[in-house]
Every structure is written in structure tokens, then in C-alpha cells.
Amino acid sequence: MQRVGDAVKDLGFEPAKVEQLKTAVSEAAMNAIEHGNDFRSELPVLVEVRASDSVLSVCITDQGGGAAIPESETPDLEAKLEGAQSPRGWGLFLIEHMVDKMNIMRDQAHHTVELILYRGGDNHGNHPI
Amino acid sequence: MAIIPFEARVRQENGIAVIDLNGEINSAADDALNAAYDQAADLSSRAVLLNFKGVDYINSSGIALIVGLMAQARKSGRRLMATGLSDHYKQIFQITRLADFMTLLPDEVSARDQVKIQA
């Protein structure tokens, strides 16, 4: 995640936004390693960073195509505090709340999680065309 | 970037058990964190303060461990507080609503004052 942070440091994002992106990249990469690649060290996780004038895109791709990544649900903290649910389950929720948009794509052999930050605008999806 | 191994040290200050956390809080911190909490619970039946000043990384597994501590504290009627979080992790505690159930404080003195008020 530090390398992604270094790659985007001159793109004009506030430091807090870069920290949020690094958290999202870290979580997506962990999911790719654990769920996509089954912790198999010989399988790579590809991280690609692309930037245009209006959009920063970071794609994290694993080698675990086939099964769909489940949709993110808001964790029920009260149920977890009561012991009615596992305390786990925060990864996708964190990713979604750290970036402007998250896209999930898959084919037969890969999952890709795309993290989007809009450059300029108000970070609520309203950005200059 | 070097990975800083997790450490937790427990001390008692003014009736509050303080757990000083250092390093990265991820799944590997499970045993040490829970052992520290058990030790802290033995020291104080009223309140435990998690000091995050030495923590530079918390991932979703770390969040789950902290939620586990919150559940233990709730079950035993013990107050769990936190101090020393960076702005980034304060935001994460707010987004995840952990901050709704655990008091975030600027320093240990505030924690002592909070416990006095409640007594």
C-alpha cells in the first residue's frame, strides 16, 4: 500500500485521502491473497495504478476467477457486541467507505477490484467533465 | 516498509488499567491483545484504556479484534476507552461506529476524569 501511496503523492490529493486510499488498497490486496489466491504464494496479486485528469483508478487483481465476490453489507456492530455475530466482516465495508467508488469485475480466471478516486470536484461523484 | 511486530503492555493508573499498544494490529495480534486484555481486566473491574499512540496500522482483522474486546467489556460491565488514535483511525472508528460504543479521549488524564465522573 505504501508503493501506491508513493505513486499518487503528486496527484494533488489531500494527505487524509491518500491514507484512505492506502487502507482500501491494503484491504483489497488482503482479500485477493486470502480469498482470491487461497494464500498460495506462487499466485501473484497485480496492482495497477492509472490516472487521468479526472479519475484515479487502482485495480487489484487476483487469480481466483469463478466464484463471485459477495456484495458488501453494513456490519451489524450491535449484533457483534452481543456475541450474536462474528466480530469479523469489515473488509469490503472499509474499502467502500475509503474511496469514491468501488467496481468489482471477474472472468474465468481473475477477480479485479477497482478503486476510484475522483480528482478535483467535491469527492461526492460531482467532478468536472 | 518494515513491519513492526505487535506488542501490548499493561499498567495501572488511578484505578484504570491501561494497555499500551505498539506496532500493527492485524490477525497476528490476536493472542497478545487478548492476553493483555485479560491481564487488564484482572487489574481493574471498572475501566480499561487502550492506548493507540504506538500503533501505525490497523486492518479489518484488527478492527475485528477490537470489536471482540468491546464485546468482552460489555459482557463484564467494564468500560472500554481509547486514546492516541491518529486522525485516520479516528475516522475509521467513526465510520465503523466503534466510536459510538467506545469513548475516544485525547489523553489519559481525560480517561481518569471520565471514570471519576461515572463513579
Q: For B14-18, B37-41, B42-46, B65-69, which range has the lowest pLDDT when averaged over its residues?
A: B42-46
> Pick from B63, B87, B101: which is nearest to A16 by CB?
B87
ipTM: 0.87
Task: Report the distance separating Cα A80 and Cα A15, nearest Å.
Answer: 32
| Cα A19-A20-A25 angle, rounded to 5 deg | 95
Q: How confident is the model at residue A127 (pLDDT cuts 50, 70, 90)?
A: very low
C-alpha B71 chain-centroid distance: 12
- Residue A123, pLDDT above cutoff 50: no
Q: What is the dihedral of CA B32, B34, B37, B39, to 10 degrees?
A: -70
> Pick from A19, A30, A86: which is nearest to B88 by CB?
A19
Contact call for B96 and A87, based on CB within 8 A: no
pLDDT value for B21: 98
Mutate to test the interface with A, among B33, B67, B94, B98 (most CBs of A within 10 A): B67
- Closest to B65 measured CA to CA, from B38, B95, B40, B31: B31
| Cα A74-A80-A84 angle, rounded to 5 deg | 115
Task: Report the distance separating Cα A103 and Cα A101, nearest Å.
Answer: 7
Neighbours of B50 (CB within 10 A): 28
In this structure, are residues B23 and B5 in contact, taking their beta carbons and an 8 Å threshold?
yes
Inter-chain contacts counted by CB atoms under 8 A, chains A and B: 56
- Residue A111, pLDDT above cutoff 70: yes
Instruction: Report chain B's mean pLDDT, rounded to a whole number.
Output: 92
> What mean pLDDT comes out for the span A87-112?
93
Alpha helices in A10-74 (DSSP H): 15-31
Write down how long chain A is. Answer: 129
In the numeric block, the cell 461506529 is attached to B97
- Angle between helix axes B87-95 and A15-31 (nearest 10 degrees) is 60
pLDDT value for B88: 97
For residue range A8-62, list pLDDT tens digits in order: 889 999 999 999 999 999 999 999 998 889 898 999 999 999 999 999 999 999 9
| Cα B23-B44-B96 angle, rounded to 5 deg | 50
In the numeric block, the cell 495501572 is attached to B12
- What residues in chain B have their Cβ under 8 A from chain A's Cβ atoms? 1, 59-61, 63-65, 67-68, 70-71, 74-75, 87-88, 91-92, 95-98, 100-101
Q: How confident is the model at residue A107 (pLDDT cuts 50, 70, 90)?
A: confident
Burial A5-24 (b: 16+ CB within 10 A, else e): beebeeeebeeebbbbbbbb
- What residues in chain A have their Cβ under 8 A from chain B's Cβ atoms? 2, 16, 19-20, 23, 26-27, 30, 75, 77, 80-83, 86-91, 93-94, 97
